[in-house]
Amino acid sequence: MRNFPPSLVKTTEGQDFWDDCKKLLHVVQANELGNEEFRNIQKYIDKNLHDAITNGKIPTADYEEPASLAVGRTTTRSQQVFEKFSTPGPLLDIYERQRQHAKDKTGSALTIATDVTMERFYIDPDDSQKRANVLQTSRGSLYFPGEDKPNIILATGAIPSCTVVLNSVPEQSGRAGSRLLGHFLTRRCAFPNDPQGPGWTATEGTRDRC
């Protein structure tokens, strides 16, 4: 986490931080997906990588492990082998949890604004910590006077987040977006040379479906 704020780095050192993250994102390892074909392919790949690393054939690798994937929870209406992680469900769960906390006076409610776009923020020139005190949105500006300033989390994807930063802090134009990397679609199909190899169970139509 090079160049991350010290406060955020300290937060990640908490005992339950990463476990809570995995629970929120519903992280599942590829060899634990609820589909026999995926599991067997992953086990076959893992074994080959493990043997290659153990025998020194991949000197730059220290270890191998199945990919950790954020996946959606399976429902009775699911039509795919597994669904990609989707934000609305967990977000509404947090909303309901915070609503109950506010009702019990043990926390604050979460407010969600819909049909609104954040365009930029303004930094308080008198604040030594350079915190924002105005959020400009498509539905008007939000002003946070005094010490009641928000912590802004840019979690809208690479390009929208860079846009907000460049609109708000033009002097960051040399950094924001300079290492932009992304893709809109990736699809991979993997098949071992030996379809009857260890850990692999071929089924009718597997290749066609992929």
Give burial (CB, 10 Å; 0-12/13-18/19+) of 47. Answer: middle
Q: Take residue 111 and report the two structure tokens written for it.
A: 């407010």
Please tell me the pTM assigned to this model: 0.58
List of the chain residues with pLDDT < 70: 74-82, 147-149, 180-210
In contact, 130 and 168? CB cutoff 8 Å: no
The Cα–Cα gap between 133 and 153 comes to 14
DSSP string, 22-42: HHHHTEEEGGGSS-HHHHHHH
Those residues with Cβ within 8 angstroms of residue 86's Cβ, 6 or more apart along the chain or in another chain: 72
* Helix, strand, coil tally for the chain in percent (to 5): 35, 10, 55
Spell out the domain ranges in the chain. Answer: 27-84+184-210, 115-179
